[in-house]
Amino acid sequence: MKYRHSFHAGNFADVHKHVTLLALIAALQRKEKGFLYLETHAGRGLYDLHSADTHQGAEARLGIGLLQAAGGSHPQISAFLEALARARTNCHEPDAYAGSPVLAALSLRAQDRGVCCEIQAAECRALERALNIYPRMRCECIDGYQGLAAQLPPPERRALVLIDPPYEEQSDDLARAGDAIGKVLARLANAVVALWYPIKDDRDLAPWLARMAEQLPAPALVAELWVHPRDARVGLNGSGLLIVNPPYQLDVEMQEWLPELGAALGATRQGGTTVRWIAHEQH
């Protein structure tokens, strides 16, 4: 695997994914009982937006850069910006971008715990350093899909699983991630699973989502944000999250803050946002 997330760190898709992740964690924390946060493709945890690895934050300027300039009136967007500010203070890097392992680690309570999997040795060592100050989160240098089998079901009997593969081969990664969701639910039927996917071509994406809707044994919704026309040939047109077993009222809340987030990231020009149920819609 050659993929490194560094170049894309802090882009609009990262921002969409991470605001949603913190919303999911907040929703799970409405209950006192703890849960396991489990991530399959964690990356290095922190990214220097002035480094050559990120091309001096080239993509971040059209992601977190735009959002910081716009600010956020909705509490969920503000919570993300506050979490990022805390992560920067903790690592003493005012221009760093925090990945999902660090953002999740900042949010875990004493009764929660987290495990992040990263298969690339150099990235895993960097992740260990990034998580060193967060006692509720640890990382394992293993294939994330193997980590699912090793960690589930957890003693807590509650879990939030983030699956975010590199999509070097999109159709293969989508198929493998879909299979992984089935295995997660077989081990823990009430697990909340968030699968991030790129929006590049609806001709490939729509049939996959239709298959997932037919196969999933649990309620599921999709939340999408796109900043280019969905069939444009620019590479990454948008960002999607398939959320299985979404917490109560998550869809209603997302319909409030996702349009505001999209507007801040430029989705009102040629893009858009949507939150919709694809399986077992709840009323």
State the Rg of the chain over Cα. Answer: 17
Q: Which residues of 65-87 are buried (b: 16+ CB within 10 A; e: fewer)?
A: bbbbeeebebebbebbbebbeeb
Alpha carbon distance 6, 48 (integer Å)? 8
Query: 14, 48, 112, 164: which one is catalytic?
Result: 164
Within 31-74, strands assigned E span: 36-39, 46-48
Q: Which run of H or of E encompasses 139?
A: strand 137-140
Separation between Cα atoms, residue 144 and residue 40, nearest integer Å: 4
Is 164 annotated in the active site?
yes
DSSP 134: -
Is the preceding omega at residue 153 within 30 degrees of 0, hence cis?
yes
Beta bridge partners of 246: none
Within a 10 A sphere around the Cβ of 267, how many other Cβ atoms? 22
Give the number of other Cβ atoms within 10 Å of residue 272's Cβ: 17
CA 205 from centre of chain? 18
Structure tokens at 27: 């929703």
Q: Give catalytic residue positions.
A: 164
